[in-house]
Structure 1
Amino acid sequence: MTGGLTGEALKAARDHFLAGGSVPAELLPPAVARSWQRSRDAGLMPWQAPYYAPLGTDARTRDDRRLARCVADEAEHLWSAFGGPDWTILCTNAAGVIVHARRSAHSRERRFGPIVAGRRIEERAIGTTAPACVLAEAAADAGPVEVHAGQHYLDEFADFFCLAVPIHGLDGDVAGALDITGVGRRDPVQLREHFHLAALAVEHRLLATLERCHLLRLQPDPRWLPTPLAGVLAVTDDGDVRAASRAARQMLGLPARGRLALDAATALFPAASPGQRLGLLRPAPRPLRLPAIDGTHLWVQYARAPLARAQPRVRTAVNAPLPTAADSPAAVAEPARAQPACTASAPPAPGALHEHALRAVREALREHRGNVAAAACQLGVSRTTVYAHLRRAGLRPDAGGAGNDDRD
């Protein structure tokens, strides 16, 4: 798209567009073409430098902290597969504020400098980017968006490639965007598949933060119940549906977005037998096969009992797959070998938990060059907590980034 005749055609079309002409829709994906139009309407010119609003001084919202916790592990997996010194992986909330960012400590790419947690990346200030397109097109469910090199509106990003996918929240609305940006070659098909699955896993973890709810997994094919491709329902003790993942809404024919006004989960399966309905909120050694409204069948697996507030906060539930009776296809096929469905994963030993937290603290400090306030903001904790972990390990803030697990 950016080389040879196509590159020249795109450059000529850009010049025509900046002179007041129409958007070169035949050379741009529709979402990117609309972003160009919005960027020009905001008064941006391609030769301008991007403007990044200063880091906010206000504490992040509860939703931001929750999203940051839920995306952290998935971002690390993606980084292991696709990261590098000229790449960054980030997640924004629905307003474009970065809640999590990952890049190599050895990156010399100056343009990654402003990409830190707490910074807002707005289309009207930095032009066309993949996360900006995802968020702006949220109402139209645009899905994944790619922006290749010269398709960026600002010249500053003329050699960048970026791809972003939407993350849907508890009510089905777009809660944020998960993005990879960098210079070099990556296979867009692989990126789309992996980032889509990662976004689905984040949505599962968001549902796992609902402590006082039973969690049910849904899938037409039982082999996919333990994977991000399953739908997830959150149901109260009274049987009310509290929330549903986007996939579950699609499987059950529910509205794609908005709070669910459902008095009983059993109403979702009107053709099910009384015994099957009673078994929905009961741990079982194997999933139920229930008739769906459209005449097909769905496998429903009891995944987790409600978590009491007296128990440790759900960080382990958020940072791991949903506790379930069967976390492998073999366990679905051989229910006699599965553990009881209500058994959650055992929490890590105190020492292991501290090591995990210390590693996260050190990585955040390394990313922010020892800035404790910025690291605490990224992690969603107080500065006191960061200092406490460092003191326990006998480290100073400027030594917190010691060690290197980055991929170069």
Structure 2
Amino acid sequence: MTLDRLGTANAPRQLFATTPAQRVALARQQFFEEGVRPSGLVGEAVLQSWMRCSRTHSDRQRIVPFDPVTPSRLHATLARNRELLEVARQELASMEHSLAGTDCRVILTDRDGVVVHVTHEPAPAHQPVLRKTARVGVNISERVVGTTAPGIVASTGLACTVDGAEHYFDVLREMQCAAAPIRDVDGRLAGVLDLTVEAQRFGFDAASMVAVYATTIENRLLQAQSREHLILRFQASPTLLGTPLEGLAGIAADGTIAWLNGAGARLIGHLPEHADERGVECLLGHDLASLLRLGRRESAQPLRLASGLGVWVQAQLQGANGIDFRHAVALPQRVEVPAPAQEPVQQMQQEDATVLQSADAPAMPQAGTLREHSRKLIEETLAAHGGNVSQAARQLRVSRGTLYRRLRSWEQGTDEPGES
């Protein structure tokens, strides 16, 4: 069968199909045997995958080897994805704990489809295919094992599910999988989170579960890769901050938005392609100094975006050495007395300038880098505490060792402290 023959003009009358299995069987018959496009019987993502696979895999009934990559490539892959594995560790453990009573397996692949993490407990005997595929180092990309959910995500960057006979190779027709992408600060695919089961159905909404955990891992990765960025957390409701539904934005030292997560893009709009169009004043309606002042407040603050949408915001400025510069704009000269609590609606109605301005917080200078501001902050903090490193470290919320390494690096004439 050639792809040129795929079409709908001469398609035979469809047989009556009532169940998902019957619809997939009919779709396979039309596509693989009759050479017509089975529109409406399977999802477009699956159909496009079948078309890609048919160009490279002629025999759908052959035995797929599921061989791992070479040891040298695996070593390089694990080293290259160390940061991804580190930020995902907590969520993978939580996900596996939730699924402990099922036969499902959690799989994390790199952007090329090589498995870098899998549920430690091996698949049971009644899942022979999963026992072969769910191993670190196995390449489950579309190029190797045909149509699967993680394979489609690696090829398209879009979340999907693949059920039973929707898999390209016959050997996988007892599998069910759901996968979602994880992206980095550059918007590129960093990995794929997958949930797979064999010889049974999920029994729950696996696609939603994978999407939530993939989003949480992605949010952690974005923040881990954002040294010397001002991180903004924002949402229409303050109760959504700190959840997978929060919007995140990374603000660079020049006052441009370096990246947005998915929720942030839905609230603000997707970033323009050109960096000179990504200014915070244009997209958020506030300058960098005003946003930095928000970082001095522990609780979420109301803010009105350039679009007129009211959101709640928390800000955090983290230096390249891990210091949380919550007080980077100005050191507190006196103990602040908290204002009386107000209803959220009343706070949102306050003037935005009142929310952003602070009598003891001068605006952050526009010139210089965040690294320069961090050094100035450390020096001022030490001076305020009479050179007491322990007290300064507590003020900056870092360990004394981190602060000593920073000071030592300046004495040696380097910009960044060495590793301990």
CA distance in structure 1 between the partners assigned to 2:115 and 2:83 by the alignment: 13
Residue correspondence of structure 1 range 344-359 to structure 2 within 5 A: none
Deviations 1:297-317 (A, max 9, x none): 122102x33144387xxxxxx
1:180 equivalent in structure 2 = 195
1:151, 1:158 within 8 Å by CA — same for their partners in 2? yes
Residue 43 (structure 2) pairs with residue 26 (structure 1): no
1:78 equivalent in structure 2 = 95
Q: CA deviation at 1:166?
A: 1.6
Aligned match for 1:60, one of 77, 82, 93: 77
Q: Structure 2: state its 5+ residue gaps.
A: 1-16, 324-340, 348-393, 400-420
Aligned match for 2:317, one of 305, 330, 343: 305
Q: CA deviation at 1:238?
A: 5.0
Q: CA deviation at 1:42?
A: 1.3
CA distance in structure 2 between the partners assigned to 1:101 and 1:253 by the alignment: 35
Opposite residue 195 of structure 2, the aligned amino acid is I
Aligned match for 2:208, one of 178, 183, 193: 193
CA distance in structure 1 between the partners assigned to 2:20 and 2:278 by the alignment: 56
1:31, 1:145 within 8 Å by CA — same for their partners in 2? yes
Residue 187 (structure 2) pairs with residue 169 (structure 1): no
Residue 14 (structure 2) pairs with residue 14 (structure 1): no
Residue correspondence of structure 1 range 364-383 to structure 2 within 5 A: none
Q: CA deviation at 1:344?
A: 9.4
1:98 equivalent in structure 2 = 115
Aligned match for 1:115, one of 115, 131, 134: 134
Deviations 1:20-73 (A, max 9, x none): 512423221111111111111212422111243542313127652211222222
Aligned match for 2:104, one of 84, 87, 92: 87
Opposite residue 93 of structure 2, the aligned amino acid is E
Opposite residue 171 of structure 2, the aligned amino acid is E
1:84, 1:103 within 8 Å by CA — same for their partners in 2? no
CA distance in structure 1 between the partners assigned to 2:322 and 2:306 by the alignment: 39
Opposite residue 43 of structure 2, the aligned amino acid is P
1:246 equivalent in structure 2 = 262
Q: Structure 1: state its 5+ residue gaps.
A: 312-329, 336-341, 348-408
1:213, 1:237 within 8 Å by CA — same for their partners in 2? yes
Bigger RCO (CA 8 Å, 6+ sep): 1
2:280, 2:288 within 8 Å by CA — same for their partners in 1? no
Partner secondary structure for residue 308 of structure 2 = coil
Deviations 1:104-145 (A, max 9, x none): 24633332334333332121321110111122222xxx4x31
1:168, 1:203 within 8 Å by CA — same for their partners in 2? yes
CA distance in structure 2 between the partners assigned to 1:14 and 1:150 by the alignment: 8
The structure-2 alpha-carbon separation of the partners of 1:9 and 1:240, relative to structure 1 and needing over 3 Å to count, comes to: closer
Q: CA deviation at 1:101?
A: 1.5
Q: CA deviation at 1:284?
A: 0.5
Residue 55 (structure 2) pairs with residue 37 (structure 1): no
The structure-2 alpha-carbon separation of the partners of 1:274 and 1:77, relative to structure 1 and needing over 3 Å to count, comes to: closer
The structure-2 alpha-carbon separation of the partners of 1:274 and 1:24, relative to structure 1 and needing over 3 Å to count, comes to: closer
What is the number of equivalent residue pairs in this alignment?
Answer: 311
Aligned match for 1:222, one of 235, 238, 253: 238
CA distance in structure 2 between the partners assigned to 1:279 and 1:6 by the alignment: 55
1:165, 1:177 within 8 Å by CA — same for their partners in 2? yes
Residue correspondence of structure 1 range 241-390 to structure 2 within 5 A: 241-255=257-271, 264-270=279-285, 272=286, 276-277=290-291, 279-280=293-294, 282-302=295-315, 304-309=316-321
Partner secondary structure for residue 171 of structure 2 = helix
Partner secondary structure for residue 104 of structure 1 = coil
CA distance in structure 2 between the partners assigned to 1:308 and 1:63 by the alignment: 20
The structure-2 alpha-carbon separation of the partners of 1:4 and 1:229, relative to structure 1 and needing over 3 Å to count, comes to: closer
Normalization by structure 1: what TM-score? 0.66
Aligned match for 1:134, one of 121, 142, 153: 153
CA distance in structure 2 between the partners assigned to 1:204 and 1:211 by the alignment: 14
The structure-2 alpha-carbon separation of the partners of 1:95 and 1:161, relative to structure 1 and needing over 3 Å to count, comes to: same
Partner secondary structure for residue 151 of structure 2 = helix
Larger Rg: 2
1:134, 1:177 within 8 Å by CA — same for their partners in 2? yes
CA distance in structure 1 between the partners assigned to 2:201 and 2:49 by the alignment: 24
2:363 equivalent in structure 1 = none
2:110, 2:191 within 8 Å by CA — same for their partners in 1? yes
Partner secondary structure for residue 77 of structure 1 = helix
**% identity of equivalent residues:** 25
2:255, 2:287 within 8 Å by CA — same for their partners in 1? no
Q: CA deviation at 1:273?
A: 8.4
2:372 equivalent in structure 1 = none
1:373 equivalent in structure 2 = none
RMSD: 3.4
CA distance in structure 1 between the partners assigned to 2:18 and 2:300 by the alignment: 55
CA distance in structure 1 between the partners assigned to 2:65 and 2:180 by the alignment: 23
Normalization by structure 2: what TM-score? 0.64
Q: CA deviation at 1:11?
A: 2.8
CA distance in structure 1 between the partners assigned to 2:123 and 2:177 by the alignment: 20
The structure-2 alpha-carbon separation of the partners of 1:196 and 1:11, relative to structure 1 and needing over 3 Å to count, comes to: closer
Q: CA deviation at 1:268?
A: 3.0
Q: CA deviation at 1:202?
A: 0.8
Deviations 1:252-302 (A, max 9, x none): 21338x7855675444322x489844524x320322222223221122102
Partner secondary structure for residue 26 of structure 1 = coil
CA distance in structure 1 between the partners assigned to 2:322 and 2:25 by the alignment: 61
Opposite residue 127 of structure 1, the aligned amino acid is G
Partner secondary structure for residue 119 of structure 2 = strand
Opposite residue 151 of structure 2, the aligned amino acid is A
